[in-house]
Amino acid sequence: MEKLLKIADFLLEAAKADGADCAQCTVLESETREFNVDGGDFSLMRTLFDRYISLTVLKDHRPGSVVVNRFDEASLLSAARDCVAAAESAEPDEAREFAPGPADESFTLGAPEPDTHALFSRTAELMKDVADRHPKLLMEQLIAAHTRTKKVYRNTNGVTYRTLSGEYGVSLTYSAHDGDDSTSMYGGSLSLTDLSRPFIEGSLIDREMAEVEAQLGAEPVNGKFTGTALFAPGCLAGDVFGQVVENFASDTPLIDGTSLWKDKLGEKVADERITLSISPRDPRIVGGQRYTGEGYPAEDFDVIRDGVLTGFRLSQYAANKTGLPRSGSTSSVLIAKPGDTPLADIIAGIENGVYLMRFSGGHPSANGEFSGVAKNGFLIENGKLGKPLTETMISGNLSDMLLHLRAVSRETLEDGSTVMPYMAFDGVTVSGK
Amino acid sequence: MLSDILTPQKALFPDGAHTELRGQLNRTRRVVLLAGNLIQNTRSDVSGVSARVYKNGVYGFSSMAEYSPEAAQAVLKAAAENALFMDEHVRPGKPQLPPVGSSMTAPEAALADGAQSLYTDFARAVDDRVRSRYKNVVSRRIVVYEDSMEKLLRVSQGADFHIAAPRSYCYVFLTAETPAGIPVELFTVAGGSGVFADNFSDPAAMDVLTDQLYDELMAKREGVYADAGEKTVILGGMMTGMLSHEAVGHTVEADIVLGGSVAAHNLGKRVASDKVTMTDFAHTAFGAPCPLPVYADDEGTPARDVTLIRDGILTGYMNSRASGLHYGMEPRGNARAWLFSDEPLIRMRNTAIHPGTDRLEDMIASVDDGYLLLRSGNGQADTTGEFMFGVTMGYEIKRGKLGRALLDTTVSGVAFEMLKTVDMVSDTVTWASSGFCGKKQPMSVGMGGPALRCRITIGGR
């Protein structure tokens, strides 16, 4: 860590010597060990020795940034010079600033030391478990890796953070096959700090594989109807709440004024059963965020609390631009409060709708309109999961949908990156052939 | 420029295995102006060396963020150890890779670097022009970027090379409001292969594109929702390019075929109407340079075209050396890596449907009730060939004439079914090359095609 601090100091001093008024930098070293499975067979083992330096300077309120990955003195001097030159090419913008000091914190996160042989064994075990439990699944790709990272953040205001972290990551892409019939591909992932349990027992992995196997023989919905969309947790996190935050509650739509929620802080924007937080420090999250890109300590906060908009995800820069408060974090780690209804009861209460594990659609429009294909899904009719679906589209409006919540499950996905229940929303248009 | 410190390391290549040793520099310059605010002003230079060793059907790989003889020796050793670990634990027992050609010709490697003011000044000038010319815009975003790859490859068998591949672009995003106050957005992009200074000398040259964009945005803000259902549509060339890449191209990448894509069961079968021929071009297409020429891949295979569909029949897959061995097909230079720390994956290069003989005006005149779909924001496809594209600009066609503009919508279908409905193909190919293809790693790719008349499912309300 001391080596990284020295590099950071050298770089900050060089930037100031070149004319920067203030500066911040991140210096990182990492080692990754990774196993790959392709088309159902082990294919590759990788060992990566990586480095990264990011430097941002302000000169006369003009910002410039460089990214390099060489630690030698000549490269560092060149990076500082290029960064200041980049700033000199910019227009002044007084909204730019770095976190004030002093601050000095050290973090140790996850499992910094890898057990490469155990990682291989768990990966091989997963392949066997899949073959035994889900014989119709074909693993298009499986990547199992451990990354150990040493990282230093330092700025010229006297803020220093040191992070030593390590985590195991497993990502899966698979589909089910029976003769010429096949399902849509599905992907799952896990972030872990230890290898104490078989991967197939992680979060919803086994359940998701069983659901995908049951999707063989898919058919389109007949015609078009307005009904209920039941989102699986991974889909809810990325394609619903992730897009809600991007579209309505983050830097870009608030700076350019296109957010539908720009004047709704403190107002009801969702059903009162919805509480959505950005919580990178939650103990169920692996890694997360301990400080923001501008050097402020990261804190968990609610975007929506009991249906009321309580916070935007804003950097200090966006806060200065908009007059809105900076958020505790700029992370993308989303956690939604679960309900107390079993998933089976939610399905039993749906007359007409679809259950989807994945959504294939474009970015929603600035006004929240979305449409796309319901993937890895089933029709729900009269309280029962029906036929698996293909070529079935759903459409609606994100901001309207949040106000038409039908139910929240007590079951959650906890994969190390999010904690998310199932949610069902009414008023969604479903169309097929 | 990367100096050749790798050739002497060939003496260290392990016996009885195929070895690749690659030095690489990725250079990125990026400036973003949002409503006149400079929200990004970044230069990135990332370099290093990697080695990959193939032994009995499995690979070992290692990379280091340092470009030196010592780093090259270290990654060669680690890659060989990883290959050995995999061979001992997996025992795949596959044969050695068949040899490929070693002869290739590429332009001389050279990457001229510009000062950051080259990018910031251009972005500011375009922003000033946009702000002054277009009154009914509520927000604007200008993105100027250049990314370049320089690669030095040494292989135990195949083509050694030193190549550079720069590309540079200027995006303009405009947002207006509908009469009801709802924001609608469109973007356009200029640029292609080459460094920024060569592609962009005069900000006023962007006016032609941005004038057209503004006209379309003004039409779109008065636009209507599409009528949902299966319709007769004309896909513009950019949409056809997206279709070629996302819905067909990915399913015929041999690693995706091995993972169970729909193409596994369709080789030699009809997957499109006989008006459809589709090729993944290496460096030259229809008598002109491709948008992003590729002369050899990162396994040392000289690049040649791959015909994927000929007259509606699926004729081939894109291969790496290992997948070529598996399928008994010849690899043609599709295995490419994005960073020094990335292993080569099977990637498209410049994928396009071939032009036909129809004129676009005649195609529009032939549609009684349908849509002309021109711009797409994004697209996704499944291994089943089921696809979805966002449509950001389109028009109604009523009794052979263009009608009202459309608000954002989505089209979807199953590629090998939808392509069978193609019954008219225009005589002009439109290319796009500014985006990134995502597949474990990003990759720069070209995609293109003519306008197609077909049946497709369109979303609406």
Establish if A345 belongs to a structural domain.
yes
Residue A119: pLDDT over 80: yes
pLDDT digits 0-9 by tens, B304-341: 999 999 999 999 999 999 999 999 999 999 999 999 99
Q: What is the Cβ-side half-sphere exposure of residue A359, based on CA atoms within 13 angstroms? A: 31
Query: For B123, which residue in chain A has the nearest alpha carbon?
Result: A90
Does B82 sit within 8 Å of A90, measured CB to CB?
no
Query: For A361, which residue in chain B has the nearest alpha carbon?
Result: B388
Q: Please indicate, yes or no, whether residues A48 and A148 belong to a single structural domain of this protein.
A: yes
Does A375 sit within 8 Å of B141, measured CB to CB?
no
Burial of B288 (0-12, 13-18, 19+ CB in 10 A): exposed
Establish if A161 belongs to a structural domain.
yes
Element (H, E) at B177: strand B161-177
Q: What residue ranges in B56-138 does DSSP mark as E strands? A: 58-64
Reported confidence tier of residue B180, pLDDT bands at 50, 70, 90: confident
| DSSP H helical ranges for A369-424 | 398-402
Determine how many CB atoms are found less than 10 A away from the CB of residue B438.
9
Q: Shortest Cα distance from A57 to chain B (angstroms)? A: 11
Q: Please indicate, yes or no, whether residues A131 and A37 belong to a single structural domain of this protein.
A: yes
Q: Please indicate, yes or no, whether residues B176 and B286 belong to a single structural domain of this protein.
A: no
Q: What is the Cβ-side half-sphere exposure of residue A84, based on CA atoms within 13 angstroms? A: 19
Model pLDDT, residue B181: 84
CA A106, CA A162: separation in Å to the nearest integer?
5
Model pLDDT, residue B381: 86
Does B457 sit within 8 Å of A393, measured CB to CB?
yes
Q: Please indicate, yes or no, whether residues B191 and B247 belong to a single structural domain of this protein.
A: no
Q: Please indicate, yes or no, whether residues B166 and B263 belong to a single structural domain of this protein.
A: no
Model pLDDT, residue B369: 96
Residue at a domain's end among B194, B221, B248: B221
Residue A433: pLDDT over 80: no
Burial of B459 (0-12, 13-18, 19+ CB in 10 A): buried
Q: Please indicate, yes or no, whether residues B247 and B211 belong to a single structural domain of this protein.
A: no
Count the helix, strand and coil residues of chain B and give each as a percent rounded to the nearest 5: 25, 40, 35
Nearest to B383 among A175, A257, A361 (CB): A175
Reported confidence tier of residue B109, pLDDT bands at 50, 70, 90: low
Q: Please indicate, yes or no, whether residues B207 and B77 belong to a single structural domain of this protein.
A: yes
Q: Please indicate, yes or no, whether residues B154 and B238 belong to a single structural domain of this protein.
A: no
Residue with tokens 């589909």: A175
Q: Please indicate, yes or no, whether residues B236 and B183 belong to a single structural domain of this protein.
A: no
Query: How high does pLDDT run on average in chain B?
Result: 94
Establish if B170 belongs to a structural domain.
yes
Answer for the pair A23, A60: CB distance below 8 angstroms, yes or no: no
Token duo for residue B342: 């990335």
Query: What range defines the domain where residue B447 resides?
Result: 229-458
Q: Please indicate, yes or no, whether residues B30 and B14 belong to a single structural domain of this protein.
A: yes
Model pLDDT, residue B378: 79
Residues in chain B: 461
Q: Answer whether B85 touches A (CB < 8 Å).
A: yes
- Which residues 80-139 of A have a C-beta within 8 angstroms of B? 82-83, 85-91, 93, 95, 120, 124, 138-139
Q: Answer whether B408 touches A (CB < 8 Å).
A: yes
Q: Please indicate, yes or no, whether residues A255 and A375 belong to a single structural domain of this protein.
A: no
Residue at a domain's end among B192, B221, B250: B221
Q: Please indicate, yes or no, whether residues B27 and B69 belong to a single structural domain of this protein.
A: yes
Establish if A218 belongs to a structural domain.
no
pLDDT digits 0-9 by tens, B112-156: 788 999 999 999 999 999 999 999 999 899 999 999 999 999 999
Residue B461: pLDDT over 60: no
> Residue B141 forms beta bridges with which residues?
B34, B173
Token duo for residue B14: 């392990």
Residue B192: pLDDT over 60: yes
- Which residues 266-305 of A have a C-beta within 8 angstroms of B? none
The Cα-based distances of B131 to A179, A274, B78, B172 in angstroms read 58, 40, 55, 11
Reported confidence tier of residue A364, pLDDT bands at 50, 70, 90: confident
Q: Answer whether B138 touches A (CB < 8 Å).
A: yes
Nearest to B38 among A63, A66, A182 (CB): A63
Query: What range defines the domain where residue A119 resides?
Result: 2-213
Residue B220: pLDDT over 70: yes
Q: How many domains does chain B have?
A: 2
Q: Please indicate, yes or no, whether residues B153 and B279 belong to a single structural domain of this protein.
A: no
Q: Please indicate, yes or no, whether residues A17 and A149 belong to a single structural domain of this protein.
A: yes
Model pLDDT, residue B379: 83
Query: For B71, which residue in chain A has the nearest alpha carbon?
Result: A49
**CATH at B14:** 3.30.2290.10
Establish if B343 belongs to a structural domain.
yes
Determine how many CB atoms are found less than 10 A away from the CB of residue B358.
21
pLDDT digits 0-9 by tens, A292-319: 999 999 999 999 999 999 999 999 999 9
pLDDT digits 0-9 by tens, A45-93: 999 999 999 999 999 999 999 999 999 999 999 999 999 999 999 989 9
pLDDT digits 0-9 by tens, A7-16: 999 999 999 9
Q: What is the Cβ-side half-sphere exposure of residue B173, based on CA atoms within 13 angstroms? A: 20
Q: Answer whether B417 touches A (CB < 8 Å).
A: no
Model pLDDT, residue B460: 60
Q: Please indicate, yes or no, whether residues A359 and A313 belong to a single structural domain of this protein.
A: no
Residue B444: pLDDT over 60: yes
pLDDT digits 0-9 by tens, A418-432: 999 999 999 999 988
Q: How many domains does chain A have?
A: 3
CA A279, CA A357: separation in Å to the nearest integer?
23
Model pLDDT, residue A97: 95
Q: What is the mean pLDDT of residues B86-99?
A: 93
**CATH at A113:** 3.30.2290.10
> Three-class SS of residue B321?
helix
Residue A210: pLDDT over 70: yes
Q: Shortest Cα distance from A24 to chain B (angstroms)? A: 14
Q: Please indicate, yes or no, whether residues A299 and A344 belong to a single structural domain of this protein.
A: no
Establish if B72 belongs to a structural domain.
yes
Q: What is the mean pLDDT of residues A281-288?
A: 95
Look at residues B156, B10, B17, B26 and name the one whose alpha carbon lies nearest to residue B73. Answer: B10
Model pLDDT, residue B377: 79
Establish if A219 belongs to a structural domain.
no
Model pLDDT, residue A432: 82
Q: Please indicate, yes or no, whether residues A306 and A367 belong to a single structural domain of this protein.
A: no
CA A125, CA A8: separation in Å to the nearest integer?
43
Q: Please indicate, yes or no, whether residues A386 and A401 belong to a single structural domain of this protein.
A: yes
Query: How high does pLDDT run on average in chain A?
Result: 95
Cα angle value B31/B121/B139 (rounded, 5°):
60
Nearest to A86 among B43, B46, B47 (CB): B43
Size of interface A-B (CB pairs under 8 A): 250
Q: Please indicate, yes or no, whether residues A162 and A57 belong to a single structural domain of this protein.
A: yes
Answer for the pair B130, B4: CB distance below 8 angstroms, yes or no: no
Look at residues B146, B150, B118 and name the one whose alpha carbon lies nearest to residue B46. Answer: B150
Top pLDDT among B2 and B314 is at: B314
Handedness of CA B131, B135, B138, B140 (dihedral sign): negative
Diameter over CA atoms, chain A: 72
Answer for the pair B363, B451: CB distance below 8 angstroms, yes or no: yes
CA A352, CA A383: separation in Å to the nearest integer?
8
Predicted-complex ipTM score: 0.93
Q: Answer whether B65 touches A (CB < 8 Å).
A: yes
Residue at a domain's end among A291, A319, A336: A336
> What is the 8-class DSSP label of residue B96?
P
Q: Please indicate, yes or no, whether residues A206 and A270 belong to a single structural domain of this protein.
A: no
Model pLDDT, residue B104: 84
Q: Please indicate, yes or no, whether residues A363 and A397 belong to a single structural domain of this protein.
A: yes
Establish if A297 belongs to a structural domain.
yes
Q: Please indicate, yes or no, whether residues A164 and A188 belong to a single structural domain of this protein.
A: yes
Q: What is the mean pLDDT of residues A346-354?
A: 97
Q: What is the mean pLDDT of residues A178-182?
A: 91
Establish if B2 belongs to a structural domain.
no
Q: What is the Cβ-side half-sphere exposure of residue A319, based on CA atoms within 13 angstroms? A: 15
Answer for the pair B50, B340: CB distance below 8 angstroms, yes or no: yes
Model pLDDT, residue B108: 73
Residue with tokens 């609390």: A305
Residue at a domain's end among B202, B221, B240: B221
Cα angle value B150/B155/B158 (rounded, 5°):
100
Q: Please indicate, yes or no, whether residues B329 and B444 belong to a single structural domain of this protein.
A: yes
- Which residues 13-52 of A have a C-beta within 8 angstroms of B? 38-52
Q: Please indicate, yes or no, whether residues B202 and B286 belong to a single structural domain of this protein.
A: no
